[in-house]
Amino acid sequence: MTAQATLPRHAGAAAAEAPLLSVRDLTLHIPVPPHVLRAVDGVSFDLRRGETLGLVGESGSGKTLTALTLMRLLEPPLDHLPRGQVVLDGQDLMLLTETRMSALRGHAISMVFQEPMTSLNPVMTVGRQIAEPLMRHLGLPTRAAMARAEEMLRLVGIPDPARVLRAYPHLLSGGMRQRAMIAIALACRPLVLVADEPTTALDVTVQAQILELLTELQREMGSAILLITHDLAVIAETAHRVAVMYAGRIVEEAPVAELFADPRHPYARGLLASIPRIERMPPATLPEIPGMVPGPAERPIGCAFMPRCARAISGCAAEPPPLAEVAPGHRVACWNPVHG
Amino acid sequence: MIGFIAKRLLQAVPLLIGVSLIGFGLMHLAPGGPLAIYTLNPTIQVQDIERIKVIFGLDQPLHIQYVKWATGIFSGNWGYTFFGGRPVLDVILERVPATLLLMGSALSVAIVLGLSVGVLGAVKRYSVFDVLATTGALFALSFPTFWFGLMAIFVFAIELRWLPSGGMWELGEEGNLLSLLRHLVLPTMVLALVITATWSRYSRSAFLEVMHQDFMRTARAKGVPPGARLLRHAFPNAAKPLIALLGVELPFLFSGALVAETIFGWPGMGRLFVDALSMKEYPVLMGMMMFTAIFVIIGNLLADIAIALIDPRVRLS
């Protein structure tokens, strides 16, 4: 698997088009006395029609919280903390009432979660769970919604959809349940699909099938996908562009091929170097990034990566670096980026 | 399903035999014995007591007495009362309607109230309402029923004179529905208070547990509105522990409430038990024990069936 195998299909056309989803300065600062945990710290990105943006980072880098924040799915007491803009098709989701937001969820913007085993209601048939958003958002009567649900099951590659329609989730395997989750999320043909580690809980062979399914359905429906993962292989296979997150911030954003070929941020570079590659066999030792992601207490005022960074210079401690364009479509937040 | 029910009923037989053995044993180990009351009566001669012993079969060895009584239980002959010689089963069954009425209304009020309070407390966790409900429940649970009963009589019957203080009807008004309802209010209120407290705690924790599960977030991500999330998604999942609780409480419906029935002079099973106890009516006491045991078994069986109907993962086998 190489990065070149999945050159962004829409790169040329998409650049001209206005973004479908535009996230600006999204912030989630959680007070954890005596500190403030900057879980999401000024995240900005654009997502265009038919595009897949991979959001990659270690656990704890704020990927999932970014997703839950932009979906407005945070539970109290976190629900009042987010700041920033999430503009979907012209309207700022952050300004909507919960009622209006609830009318968009599952309709204009949907989400697939990491845990297919627990994300489905155990006492409701799969069919009813898929039919639910269809009835709610498109106003379909039960019978029509169930027919569409069966169609969706067929679309996500479930064999014998008529049987699965009436089945309860516990009868399905993890891969099948994730397909059902995707069917739920895509039932109303949303503009944007947020997929949070959709394949992490699955077997490797099933992972590939699910990713292929997502790509295929995207081509068919034209939805934009925000694909959250810690797995660079998943990004290389599926995404057009990639944003690397570290400690609540996006540190580098570029088209997939470009990032894999020419990472500018020392962290992104370290992340890519830590992937084992066939051509580097036999491996000596895999290079690793020294140190750990800083906790909320020890996060520096300046660049959060500085304590672990081999390229740190004197200015790094003073101020966090802004995300600046170094090449067309390639942005890096680093005071001393690597030069290609 | 039918196989499951048959199997469970068969399993109940050894259980009932065990209960009857323990109950019978305990009754006969208790000091005094059924005839103790006669020994205090100076007009009764020793030979009279011996005669009574023979009449009731109390002169026979214990195991013979047990076998006779136990076979009677399983064949519908539950024995006769010492005083009056009436069939025990009749004595018990004639008390069922009063108890069923009181416990049924108390339990219905309590479940509706307790469930609403619990669900609201779970939805608005740590709100003023939740804190008040929690405090109120602890208050209701920490005071004895007789205190609430006496307070209710004092306030509503004696001071305000709104409601009668006890009994089921006014004299001469037997069969009058309005009179019955007026008499029902106070004991129902007192009984429901405690059951409401229990139910609000149970339903709060059941809903809290369900509301933080992944599938509830999925429902939110699908755009399901809050009311439907609660009813369609949370409720069926939270209902399981509550149904189990109901199964345990069903026998309570038939065994009555000792304290409340005694305080309010309600002619139900609870009072029958207290009366039988003070009169050493062993056949009645043992009969009531078997009666309650049977309803414990039926209650749990019904709860298991209901849970299996709600949760497809539970298979009856």
pLDDT tens digits, B2-32: 888 888 888 888 988 898 898 888 887 877 7
- List C-alpha distances in Å: B94 to A277, B268, B276: 84, 9, 14
- Over 60: is that where the pLDDT of A7 sits? no
Q: Whole-angstrom Cα distance, residue A225 to residue A191?
A: 9
Q: Whole-angstrom Cα distance, residue A116 to residue A175?
A: 8
A223 and A79 both lie in a single domain: yes
CB-based contact B264:B186 (threshold 8 Å): yes
C-alpha distance from B116 to closest chain A C-alpha (Å): 21
CB-based contact A88:A18 (threshold 8 Å): no
Instruction: Out of A8-17, A130-139, B7-16, B272-281, pick the least confident.
Output: A8-17
Q: Is residue A91 part of a domain?
A: yes
Phi (first) and psi of residue A324, to 5 degrees = -115, 145
A88 and A67 both lie in a single domain: yes
Residue B227 at interface with chain A, using a CB cutoff of 8 Å: no
Instruction: Out of A276-290, A320-334, B236-250, pick the least confident.
Output: A276-290
Q: Is residue A310 part of a domain?
A: no
- Over 90: is that where the pLDDT of B234 sits? yes
C-alpha distance from B202 to closest chain A C-alpha (Å): 20
- List C-alpha distances in Å: A79 to A83, A114, A158: 10, 21, 36
Q: What is the pLDDT of residue B68?
A: 87
Q: Are the Cβ atoms of A104 and B224 closer than 8 angstroms?
A: no
Q: How confident is the model at residue A12 (pLDDT cuts 50, 70, 90)?
A: very low
Residue B51, helix vs strand vs coil: helix
Q: Quick one: tokens of B190?
A: 């007192």
User: Which residue segment(s) compose the domain that A170 sits in?
Assistant: 118-189
Q: What is the pLDDT of residue B292?
A: 87
Residue A172 at interface with chain B, using a CB cutoff of 8 Å: no
C-alpha distance from A186 to closest chain B C-alpha (Å): 10
Burial of residue B232, with CB atoms counted within 10 A of its CB: 0-12 exposed, 13-18 middle, 19 or more buried: middle
Residue B224 at interface with chain A, using a CB cutoff of 8 Å: yes
Edge-to-edge strands, sheet with A241-246: A109-112, A192-196, A224-229, A52-56, A241-246, A249-255, A330-332, A324-327
Helix B145-152, helix B177-211: angle, nearest 10: 140
Kindly list the residues from chain B whose CB atom is less than 8 angstroms away from the CB atom of residue A73: 217, 220-221
- Over 70: is that where the pLDDT of A10 sits? no
Name the DSSP letter for residue B87.
B
Q: Which residue of B has its CA nearest to A98?
A: B225
CA atoms within 13 A on the CB side of A238: 32
* pTM score, whole prediction: 0.82
Residue A102 at interface with chain B, using a CB cutoff of 8 Å: yes
Average pLDDT over residues A117-142: 95
Q: What is the pLDDT of residue A284?
A: 64
Q: What is the pLDDT of residues A314-334, one digit of tens each?
A: 889 889 999 999 999 999 999
Phi (first) and psi of residue A127, to 5 degrees = -60, -45
Among 1.10.3720.10, 3.40.50.300, 3.90.1150.10, 1.10.4160.10, name the CATH number for the domain at B96-267. Answer: 1.10.3720.10
A46 and A22 both lie in a single domain: yes
Residue A251, helix vs strand vs coil: strand
Q: How confident is the model at residue B168 (pLDDT cuts 50, 70, 90)?
A: confident
Q: Nearest CA to A60 among A74, A42, A40?
A: A40
Q: Is residue A265 part of a domain?
A: yes
B306 residue type, one letter = A
What share of residues in chain A are helix, strand, coil (percent, to 5)? 40, 20, 40
Q: Are the Cβ atoms of B236 and A124 closer than 8 angstroms?
A: yes
Mutation for A interface: B217, B218, B311, B315, most A CBs within 10 A = B218
As beta bridge partners, residue A31 has A36
Tokens 């602890």 belong to B138
- Over 90: is that where the pLDDT of A170 sits? yes
Residue A213: which H helix or E strand, with range? helix A204-221
A36 and A56 both lie in a single domain: yes
Average pLDDT over residues B249-260: 78
Maximum pairwise Cα distance, chain A: 67
- Mean pLDDT, chain A, rounded, equals 88
Q: Whole-angstrom Cα distance, residue B292 to residue B308?
A: 24
A241 and A102 both lie in a single domain: yes
C-alpha distance from A325 to closest chain B C-alpha (Å): 34
CB-based contact A192:A226 (threshold 8 Å): yes
Q: Whole-angstrom Cα distance, residue A217 to residue A196?
A: 17
A11 and A82 both lie in a single domain: yes
Q: What is the pLDDT of residue B166?
A: 84
- List C-alpha distances in Å: B91 to A296, B10, B35, B278: 73, 27, 20, 16
A29 and A158 both lie in a single domain: no
- The Cα angle at residue B110 between residues B104 and B112, in degrees rounded to 5: 100
Query: How does strand A83-88 pair with strand A35-47?
Result: unpaired
Q: Are the Cβ atoms of B222 and A113 closer than 8 angstroms?
A: no
Cβ neighbours for B183, distance < 8 A, ≥ 6 positions apart: B163, B164, B166, B167, B168, B169, B264
A2 and A82 both lie in a single domain: yes
Kindly list the residues from chain B whose CB atom is less than 8 angstroms away from the CB atom of residue A122: 215, 237, 311-313
- The Cα angle at residue B162 between residues B188 and B260, in degrees rounded to 5: 25
CB-based contact B302:B94 (threshold 8 Å): no
Whether the ω angle into residue A282 lies within 30 degrees of 0, i.e. cis, is yes
A214 and A281 both lie in a single domain: yes
Number of domains in chain A: 2
Q: What is the pLDDT of residue A283?
A: 57
Q: What is the pLDDT of residue B59?
A: 82
A76 and A210 both lie in a single domain: yes
C-alpha distance from B124 to closest chain A C-alpha (Å): 10
Q: What is the pLDDT of residue A195?
A: 95
Q: Nearest CA to B107 among B189, B183, B168?
A: B189
Q: What is the pLDDT of residue A279?
A: 67
ipTM over 0.85: yes
Q: Which residue has the higher pLDDT, B38 or A233?
A: A233
Q: Where are the alpha helices (DSSP H) in chain B?
A: 2-29, 36-39, 46-56, 62-75, 88-93, 96-123, 128-142, 145-152, 177-211, 214-221, 226-228, 235-255, 258-263, 269-278, 282-310
Q: Is residue A296 part of a domain?
A: no
A216 and A163 both lie in a single domain: no
Sign (positive or negative) of CA dihedral B122, A27, A337, A328: positive
Kindly list the residues from chain A whose CB atom is less than 8 angstroms away from the CB atom of residue B219: 121, 132
Q: Is residue A305 part of a domain?
A: no
Q: Whole-angstrom Cα distance, residue A73 to residue B221?
A: 7
Out of B215, B220, B236, closest to residue A120 by CB: B215
Q: Whole-angstrom Cα distance, residue B4 to residue A75?
A: 42
Taking phi first (over 0 means left), then psi (-120 to 50 degrees means alpha), and beta for anything else, what does residue B208 get? alpha
Sign (positive or negative) of CA dihedral A67, A68, A71, A77: negative
How many beta-carbon contacts under 8 Å exist across A and B? 77
Q: Quick one: tokens of B315?
A: 């298979």
Q: Which residue of B has its CA nearest to A67?
A: B221
Mutation for B interface: A65, A123, A177, A186, most B CBs within 10 A = A123
CB-based contact A56:A259 (threshold 8 Å): no
CATH 1.10.3720.10, chain B: domain bounds: 96-267
The domain that holds A66 is classified in CATH as: 3.40.50.300
Q: Quick one: tokens of A47?
A: 């997502």
Q: Nearest CA to A134 among A180, A184, A73?
A: A184
- Over 70: is that where the pLDDT of A1 sits? no
Where does a domain end: A189, A204, A239?
A189
Q: Is residue A301 part of a domain?
A: no
- Over 80: is that where the pLDDT of B255 sits? no
Q: What is the pLDDT of residues A83-94, one digit of tens each?
A: 999 999 899 999
Q: Which residue has the higher pLDDT, B254 or B258?
A: B258
Name the DSSP letter for residue B202.
H
Q: Which residue of A has its CA nearest to B308?
A: A123
Mutation for B interface: A112, A118, A119, most B CBs within 10 A = A119
Q: Is residue A314 part of a domain?
A: no
Q: What is the pLDDT of residue A291?
A: 80
CB-based contact A293:A230 (threshold 8 Å): no
Q: How confident is the model at residue A245 (pLDDT cuts 50, 70, 90)?
A: very high
Q: What is the pLDDT of residue A87?
A: 96
Q: Are the Cβ atoms of A170 and B313 closer than 8 angstroms?
A: yes
Residue B223 at interface with chain A, using a CB cutoff of 8 Å: yes
Q: Is residue A72 part of a domain?
A: yes
Q: Are the Cβ atoms of B215 and A115 closer than 8 angstroms?
A: no
Q: Are the Cβ atoms of B220 and A99 closer than 8 angstroms?
A: no
Q: Which residue of A has its CA nearest to B210?
A: A121
Q: What is the pLDDT of residues B77-110, one digit of tens each?
A: 888 888 888 999 999 999 988 998 998 899 999 9
Where does a domain end: A256, A285, A314?
A285
A172 and A202 both lie in a single domain: no
Residue B161 at interface with chain A, using a CB cutoff of 8 Å: no
Give percent above pLDDT 90 in chain B: 33
Q: Are the Cβ atoms of B310 and A123 closer than 8 angstroms?
A: yes
Phi (first) and psi of residue B232, to 5 degrees = -85, -35
